[in-house]
Chains A and B, each alone.
Chain A
Amino acid sequence: MTFETLGWQGLVILVIFGLSLLIATYCTYAERVIAAFMQDRVGPDRAGPYGLAQPLADAVKMFTKEEFFPGGASKALFTFGPCLAMTTALMSSAVIPFGNAVQFGSTVVHLQGIEINVGMLYVFGIVSLGVYGVMIGGWASNNKFSLLGAIRAASQNISYELAMGLALIAVLMISGTLSLREITLQQASDAPFVWRDIFNWNIMKQPLGFIIFLVCAFAETNRTPFDLPECETELVGGYHTEYSSMKLGLYLFSEYINIFVVSAVMSVLYFGGFNFPFQYEFRDWLASSRGLELITAQNIITVLGAVGLFAKIFAFIFFFMWVRWTLPRFRYDQLMRLGWTILIPLAIFNILLTGGLITTGIIK
């Protein structure tokens, strides 16, 4: 890796970092607006046009609030919890391929923080580290509600990570690689058949696996209907009961970043990532009828693909919020029953099914 590509890669990482933060910021706004719209209200509209400066106002509020440490709490761990939650949330977006390569001159820049051949494993590792942030925070608060919330978070995440991993294995059986970039590229298709592009997405081969993954994603990000760790009706605020000021902000923020990352992972794994229908036809059309160089045409496709990926991600984020304002919360035993007695057997069945279909050659 030359110094120049290193510089470009650093820039890409910075952009992804900034984008994650920006998207998480505006998720807080979107959440409120969507909630309001679904309840026939208009939501925040006072700060700036359409209330768009609301996240700024929130940040000012968060920063100026009192930093509170509960009595008897371990100060170091109490501070460490939200930091860990935030760091792990931000780290996982590094391996997601947000676009194909952009090429100018001899420089090729991949729109991806880092390309590693175990990208999926990396995401899983980091996501499961995320629960430590919640656990440490809940433990250090010296409050029974926080502790209960943290315990719930831990057992919920462990239970659903199993089903999630099993759902993922079926995808890996098809792709044969853990690299997210490879998985994305495999979902592209240059066959001329019109619908071939979309049919090549993994969702077509893994509908059951996708549903399992989606349900687990809700549980992993602690979103309704699985937001037991911060269930207000029982646990005040769950693991962040004792948190105030920007430390609470970091927790809430990391949750939104997690949603963003999980949405990105789902788009990449099941919805073709940065591929979009007719991309090759469009590229060839650009090259032949518009007289662009092939490289330029490819760059345009790359940028459009990145935009398309973000459209998919936003659709998922909307779906997360849509579900939140529709469904009531599960009871804790229902949550565990769903995870262990339904999702995990289903995921195993899905693996067997996929294996059968692969050996019979129906999907490849």
Chain B
Amino acid sequence: MQSLSNRAKILEKKPMTLAERAYLPAIFQGLSITLRHFFTKKATIRYPEETRPFSPVFRGLHVLKRDEQGRERCTACGLCAVACPAEAITMVAGERKKGEQNLYREEKYAVSYEINMLRCIFCGLCEEACPKAAVYLQADKMAPPRFERDEFIYGKDRLVEPVSPDTRSKRGIQLTAEQADKLRTQLA
């Protein structure tokens, strides 16, 4: 029959030669192949001791950025949550009180902000949607494996970019004692 694609190969079933029927040459050939692989470099990456090199545009774990003065940029507008195709982001908005200007950049801020890393598909649409340049996907970090599902819901404590006390003072932020406490519990 004429084949339509003309790419068919005609196979002949030749009777096996004596060497083929004796199995042993073929077995030695196979053995040499496996032995070669025995000594080749292994492909395994011993995670977590070793990690794969990331691409510079890798989309990993989220971070909520602070501005130059150490204030949270997020204004809880919810655009990221709307943009998120996986519905991984939830937040509760709150109004900034007097005297919290050094903590939050805008008058409205996110009291809680959670990303469920099990739902997230790391598409980066939240990053694109954000008008305040607040949420980013880091190129060098991933959500590490955990045993419990709850532990994959990242709240502000794990998302907001940490500020070390000394950088804070250098940037001229003055915290009241209770604000410092609040921040510390958030960051803990």
Residues in A lying within 8 Å of B, measured CB to CB: 34, 36-42, 45, 211, 322-323, 325-327
Contact = CB atoms under 8 A, between A and B. Distances in A.
B38 A34 contact: yes
Contacts of B31: 322-323, 326
Contact of A41 (B24, B33, B34, B44): B44
B18 to A, nearest CB: 13
26 contacts: A37-B37, A37-B38, A37-B42, A38-B37, A38-B38, A39-B37, A40-B37, A40-B40, A40-B41, A40-B42, A40-B43, A40-B44, A41-B42, A41-B43, A41-B44, A42-B42, A45-B46, A322-B34, A322-B38, A323-B27, A323-B31, A325-B34, A326-B27, A326-B31, A326-B33, A327-B30
B11 interface: no
Contacts of B8: none
A181 B27 CA distance: 33
B87 to A, nearest CB: 36
Nearest to A334: B23
A42 B34 contact: no
Interface of B: 24, 27, 30-31, 33-35, 37-38, 40-44, 46
Given A37-B38, A41-B43, 13 more contacts: A37-B42, A38-B34, A40-B37, A40-B40, A40-B41, A40-B43, A211-B24, A322-B38, A326-B27, A326-B30, A326-B31, A326-B33, A327-B30
Contacts of A42: 42, 44, 46
Q: Is the interface of B mostly helix, strand, loop or mixed?
A: helix
A322 B35 contact: yes
Contacts of A325: 34
Nearest to B32: A326
Contacts of A38: 34-35, 37-38
Nearest first, the 6 closest Cβ-Cβ pairs linking A and B are A326-B34, A42-B44, A38-B34, A326-B30, A40-B43, A37-B38
A69 to B, nearest CB: 33
Contacts of B46: 42, 45
Contacts of A322: 31, 34-35, 38
A327 B37 contact: no
Contacts of B35: 38, 322
A352 B32 CA distance: 33
Nearest to A38: B34
Contacts of B40: 40
Nearest to A328: B30
Contacts of B42: 36-37, 40-42
Nearest to A324: B34
Contacts of A326: 27, 30-31, 33-34
A38 B42 CA distance: 9
A34 B46 CA distance: 17
Most buried by A among B30, B35, B38: B38
A161 to B, nearest CB: 21
A42 B46 CA distance: 9
Nearest to B22: A342
A320 to B, nearest CB: 12
A179 B164 CA distance: 80
A322 B7 CA distance: 39
Nearest to A338: B23
Nearest to B39: A37
Nearest to B35: A322
